[in-house]
Amino acid sequence: MHMGRLARTFLFSSTALLLSSCCMFKPRCETPCSTGCVTHIVLVDVADDSDIAAMRADSDRLIPIIKGVCGYQCGTPLDIGRAAVTSDYDLGILVQCASVEDYKAYLEAPAHKELVAKWGSKWKSFRIFDFTTTETLTP
């Protein structure tokens, strides 16, 4: 049975949309991060491993609702046996904002402050990496 061109296009488009929606949320920013953005990465080592799921749930609940956050992901280390890849953390959080101003607003947002106030004292250690994808963004 031969599938028509329109049917193939629809099937491909539907599959791509379904697969891409696995890591999506509704952005709360006016400007998409596609042309340049600030990326904020936090790698956390939680003092009590039994807290990892709860901290991830709180991050998933609080970070995406912050105005100016254009991208967000949160997860645990992936170990596929690559010696050069570090996995000495419990939870990785990635936040993207379209501008330095949006990033500064994110840092001051009540939801961000709530997350840090609740979980910061439960971290054994953490590392933060901030970078921009364009040289035109300045603090």
Whether residue 41 lies inside any domain: the answer is: yes
Indicate the pLDDT class of residue 125, thresholds 50, 70 and 90. Answer: very high
66 and 104 Cβ atoms separated by less than 8 Å: no
* pLDDT at residue 13, as a whole number: 38
pTM of the predicted model, to two decimals? Answer: 0.73
Q: For the chain, how big is the Rg over CA atoms in Å?
A: 18
Whether residue 17 lies inside any domain: the answer is: no
Whether residue 137 lies inside any domain: the answer is: no
Whether residue 53 lies inside any domain: the answer is: yes
Indicate the pLDDT class of residue 29, thresholds 50, 70 and 90. Answer: low
- Structure tokens, 88: 């000495």
Share of the chain above pLDDT 90, in %: 67
How far, CA to CA in Å, does 98 sit from each of 7, 33, 105, 107? 37, 5, 11, 14
Which range marks the domain in which residue 35 is found? 25-132
Strand order of the sheet with strand 38-46?
69-75, 91-97, 38-46, 123-132
42 and 93 Cβ atoms separated by less than 8 Å: yes
CATH for 39: 3.30.70.100
Whether residue 138 lies inside any domain: the answer is: no
Q: How many domains does the chain have?
A: 1
Q: What is the amino acid identity at position 79? A: D
